[in-house]
Amino acid sequence: MGVMLLAPNVRRVAEDRRDCYWLYVVTDCNTAPTLQEPVRDPAKFEWHEVKKVSHYYLSVDSIAQPMRVRKKQTTFGEKEP
């Protein structure tokens, strides 16, 4: 059927309230939405952690432009004017 992504708080509450927590799953949302049998105590299943990954990017334009020196650079130990 697929994979469900759940917020960390959903897992915490499911583990804390095992006696009264139910998970309702709707499948085929884009064609014929179907409510599956509600799952009592979903904390009993194996949960797989999804880690957030950060990415960085550099603009090619910023690398291709020549660098500009804005003020005279001092060497170590030299006083600025």
Asked if pLDDT for residue 17 goes beyond 80, the answer is yes
List alpha helices for 25-76, DSSP H.
60-64
Q: Percent of the chain having pLDDT more than 70?
A: 75
- Residue 44 neighbours by CB under 8 Å, 6+ apart: 18
Q: What is the pTM of this model?
A: 0.57
The pLDDT score that the predictor gives to residue 57 is: 73
User: Domain residues of the chain, as ranges?
Assistant: 8-64
Asked if pLDDT for residue 81 goes beyond 80, the answer is no
